[in-house]
Amino acid sequence: MDREKCSLSLEREEDGEEGAPNGDTRDIANGSSHVGGFPGDWLAARKEKSKKRKELLALQLGAGSAENLGKLLGTEEPKSSHAKRRTIATTSGLSRMKSEEKESSDEMVYTDSSTFLKGTQSSNPHNDYCQHFVDTGQRPQNFIRDVALAERFEEYPKLKELIRLKASFDTTFIKLDDELISRTASPPMYLRCDLHTMNLMDLGSEFDVILVEPPLEEYQRTRGVTNMEFWTWEQIMNLDLGSVAAARSFVFLWCGSSDGLDLGRQCLREWGFRRCEDICWIRTNLKNPGHSKNLEPKAVFQRTKEHCLMGIKGTVRRSTDGDFIHANVDIDLIITEEPEYHSLEKPTEIFSIIERFCLGKRRLHVFGRDSTIRPGWLTIGPGLTNSNFNASTYASYFVNGTTTGCTDRIEALRPKSPPPKGKGRGPRGPRTRTR
C-alpha cells in the first residue's frame, strides 16, 4: 500500500510540472517570479519538488534516504562535477571559465622539448614526442642524445679508445696521424663512366667492399630531384657487381624507404650476396623543423628514415676471420641531419662504419659524386666531373696485401666472440670461468 501511495503521489507531482504550477507567472529576466499567486523563488520551489520526488523514490525503492538513491541507481557523480555544473550555470561562472581557458591557451606555447623529457618538473607527465611533432614539426629523433661519434662512447672507454685507434677520416676528436685506416688507405681514385654500358671487369680488380648508391626514382618523388637520370630497380639488378666481388666480400646498397626494401634484397640475390644486416639512417630536422610537404600518394605518415642493406658473399665468421672483419664496433643506426631539399647526399658515417668493420682495402663506390671522393676508395659513376683512374696503378696499391692489418692494442680492445662451450673445461675438472 505504501508503494502505491508513493507512485500516486509521484504522478500528481509530475502532473503539476506541466506548464507553470497553479497558474504561476514568471519573469526570469527581471529576477522576479510568482508561484501560486504569491511572490517567491521559483527555483527554490522546483528544488523542493525535486527533493520530495527523490524522497518518495527512495521510499519506494527501499534506498532508505535520498542520499543513497544515487548509489542504488549507479548515477552518483563526484562532488566536483556538481560544483562545476553549478559554476557553469551562472553567467559569472561562464565568463570565468572563458577567461581561464584563454589564459591557459596563451600559456601553452611549445618552445622546446622540456615538457616531454623525463625527470623534469613538467606540466605533462608523458613523453609524447609524436604529439610534439604534430604541434611543432620537430621529429622525435631530434631528442636522441649522444648521437655524434665523439659523444657516443663516453660511458664506454674501451670502445672509445678502439674507435680512436681505428678512426676514419671524418673523426674530429682525434689526431689523424695515428689512425690505422688513414695510414693504410690508398690514394683516392675516380672514374667518370656510363654504368649502363661499362663492363665492370675492365676495372681489373676484385673488391672487398662495394657501396652502391643508386639514383632511385623514389628520390624524384620525395626529394624533388629532377636534374639527373634515375634508375629503375631492373636496371640496378643488371649491374654485374658479382663479377668484381671478391670470394669473401660485402656489399652495401642504399634502397630508400618504400619498395626498395624488397627489391633491394632481390638485387643482392642477383649479385650473389646474402642479406645479413640492415643499417637504418634516421633523419633529424633540428635545423629546419617542420612537416614535409612531399608525401607519397595517399600516404598517412611522413618518411623520415632510409635503409642501407648489407649483403655478404662467401663464408665470413666473426670467431675465425678476425683478420678480415671486426664486428660489433658500431651500431646499425645512423642519426644525422636531413640534407637540403633537392640533395641526394647520404651521411658520410656509412664510410666510417664500413672501414671500421671490414679490414679489406679494396673498396668500390658505385654512383659516386665529386663530394664522395675519399682516400681508400675507387669512385665510379656518371656524376663525376673528372677521372684519374688507372687500372695498373690501382692494382699496385695492393701488392703487399689487401687488408689493413691490426695492432695488438686494437686486437685486445675489439669485441670478440665468446669461447666455444667446454673450452675452459679440463679433462675431469670443472669448467673454469673466463672473462
Measured N-to-C along each axis, helices 79-89 and 91-107 cross at an angle, to the nearest 10 degrees, of 110
Checking if the pLDDT of 341 tops 60, the result is: yes
Quick check: is 432 in a domain? Answer: no
State the chain's mean pLDDT as an integer. 78
Question: Do 95 and 219 fall within a single domain?
Answer: no
- Type of residue found at 78: P
Q: Look at the chain and report how many structural domains it folds into.
A: 2
Quick check: is 206 in a domain? Answer: yes
Question: Do 237 and 352 fall within a single domain?
Answer: yes
403 CB-contact burial (10 Å; exposed 0-12 / middle 13-18 / buried 19+): middle
Question: Do 94 and 205 fall within a single domain?
Answer: no
Question: Do 223 and 365 fall within a single domain?
Answer: yes
Quick check: is 361 in a domain? Answer: yes
Q: Which domain holds residue 384?
A: 187-413
What's 277's domain CATH number?
3.40.50.150
pLDDT at residue 97 in the model: 61
Mean pLDDT over residues 129-136, rounded?
Answer: 83
Quick check: is 37 in a domain? Answer: no
From 86, 106, 126, the end of a domain falls on: 106
Checking if the pLDDT of 300 tops 70, the result is: yes
pLDDT at residue 31 in the model: 42
Question: Do 89 and 235 fall within a single domain?
Answer: no
Question: Do 102 and 191 fall within a single domain?
Answer: no
Question: Do 201 and 93 fall within a single domain?
Answer: no
Question: Do 204 and 332 fall within a single domain?
Answer: yes
Confidence of residue 91 (pLDDT cuts 50, 70, 90): low
Quick check: is 170 in a domain? Answer: no
pLDDT at residue 35 in the model: 43
Checking if the pLDDT of 432 tops 50, the result is: no
Q: Distance between alpha carbon 83 and the CA centroid of its chain, in Å?
A: 44
Quick check: is 71 in a domain? Answer: no
pLDDT at residue 28 in the model: 40
Question: Do 266 and 399 fall within a single domain?
Answer: yes
Q: 44-61: string of b/e by CB count within 10 Å (b at 16+)?
A: eeeeeeeeebbebbbbbe
pLDDT at residue 78 in the model: 54
Quick check: is 276 in a domain? Answer: yes
Helix, coil or strand: residue 10: helix
Checking if the pLDDT of 127 tops 60, the result is: yes
Q: Which three cell numbers stand for residue 377?
A: 676508395
Quick check: is 423 in a domain? Answer: no
Question: Do 248 and 355 fall within a single domain?
Answer: yes
Question: Do 198 and 305 fall within a single domain?
Answer: yes
Least confident interval from 216-220, 324-328, 386-390: 216-220
The residue that leads in pLDDT, 157 or 379, is: 379
From 59, 85, 106, the end of a domain falls on: 106
- pLDDT tens figures, 25-65: 444 444 444 444 444 578 888 888 888 888 887 777 777 77
Residue from 209, 269, 270 nearest 238 by CA: 270
Question: Do 89 and 230 fall within a single domain?
Answer: no
